[in-house]
């Protein structure tokens, strides 16, 4: 029986896929995004060992809610593809029971997802942290290329995808960064929508609790105008933007 490291659970509406979502946060992430709101999910050892069967027992309790709202299960993190066997089995089990699934990933470990696994995913929430490779490295501490390769693979496999991009003033909002990403996303026919998300400071207190430096100290959340400019970069290329 495959065991995964699960950080926590949540219920959400509207942001993590269609309908009401039961959100499973896996523990462990290879990235270190400056704006990460959940640094407590970074270490795999901070999760609770949980079997796929235990996951499915919990998932089944929400079956009626999923049916009533057109919702389902969203696996996020952390980074779900850090535990590909566990994530793949949960996706398989949900798909076998006709439960809609979404996989929220940075794509950095996209090579760990098999085509079979991706066939069980109803929707990929692909977080592309930046377009400019140097900015991507500054934001995440890792390289951009694997994420772009994964995005192109999802397009080849025609997997429904929502792209998510976090706007941080002074970090990710340079016009070449936003417009370059918009140009790229516009080439992907499987992308159904783009979420331009405002950087927020909700996670700042967790850094203090964990004894970690908060590197965006003093950075303001984006204004409505800054958000509108970024959203327009995507919308003007024919993409559906929220």
Cβ(66)–Cβ(19) below 8 Å: yes
Of the candidates 22, 23, 33, 168, which one interacts with ligand SF4 according to CB under 6 A?
33
Binding flag, residue 47, ligand SF4 (CB under 6 A): no
Whose CA is closest to 106, among 155, 144, 158? 144
Of the candidates 4, 71, 78, 222, which one interacts with ligand SF4 according to CB under 6 A?
78
The HSE-up count of residue 159 (CA atoms within 13 Å, CB side) is: 26
Binding flag, residue 4, ligand SF4 (CB under 6 A): no
- Gap between the Cα atoms of 59 and 96, Å rounded: 13
User: Is residue 161 within a helix (H) or strand (E), and if so which, with residue range?
Assistant: strand 161-167
User: Is residue 182 within a helix (H) or strand (E), and if so which, with residue range?
Assistant: helix 175-185
User: What x-and-dash track marks residues 92-121 binding ligand SF4 by CB under 6 A?
Assistant: --------------x---------------
Binding flag, residue 32, ligand SF4 (CB under 6 A): yes
**Which residues 6+ apart lie within 8 Å of 232 measured at CB?**
none
Binding flag, residue 36, ligand SF4 (CB under 6 A): yes
Residue 53 CB, nearest approach to ligand SF4 (Å): 26
Cβ(210)–Cβ(40) below 8 Å: yes
Binding flag, residue 201, ligand SF4 (CB under 6 A): no
- Gap between the Cα atoms of 100 and 67, Å rounded: 10
| Binding residues for ligand SF4, total number by CB under 6 A | 11
Binding flag, residue 177, ligand SF4 (CB under 6 A): no
Of the candidates 31, 52, 118, 171, which one interacts with ligand SF4 according to CB under 6 A?
31
- If you ran DSSP here, which 8-state letter would residue 222 be given? P
**Which range of residues in 50-58, 72-80, 220-228, 234-242 is near ligand SF4 by CB under 6 A?**
72-80
Which residues form the interface with ligand SF4 (CB under 6 A)?
29, 31-33, 36, 38, 41, 77-79, 106
């Amino acid at each position: 029986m495959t065991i995964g490291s699960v950080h926590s659970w949540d219920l959400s509406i509207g942001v993590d896929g269609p309908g009401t979502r039961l959100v499973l946060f896996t523990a462990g992430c290879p990235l270190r995004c400056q704006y990460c709101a959940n640094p407590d999910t970074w270490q795999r050892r901070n999760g609770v060992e949980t079997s796929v069967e235990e996951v499915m027992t919990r998932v089944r309790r929400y079956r009626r809610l999923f049916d009533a709202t057109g919702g389902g299960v969203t696996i996020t993190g952390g980074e779900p593809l850090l535990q590909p066997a566990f994530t793949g089995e949960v996706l398989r089990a949900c798909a076998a029971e006709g439960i809609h699934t979404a996989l929220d990933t940075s794509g950095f470990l996209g090579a760990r997802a098999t085509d079979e696994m991706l066939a069980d995913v109803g929707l990929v929430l692909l977080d592309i942290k930046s377009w400019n490779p140097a900015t991507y490295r500054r934001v995440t501490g890792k390289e951009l290329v694997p994420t772009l390769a994964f995005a192109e693979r999802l397009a080849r496999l025609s997997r429904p995808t929502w792209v998510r991009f976090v706007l941080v003033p002074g970090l990710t909002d340079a016009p070449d960064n936003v417009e370059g990403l918009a140009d790229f996303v516009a080439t992907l026919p499987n992308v159904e929508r783009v979420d331009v998300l405002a950087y927020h400071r909700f996670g700042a207190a967790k850094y203090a609790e964990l004894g970690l430096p908060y590197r965006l100290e003093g950075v303001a959340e984006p204004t409505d105008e800054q958000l509108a400019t970024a959203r327009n970069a995507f919308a003007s290329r024919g993409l559906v933007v929220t």
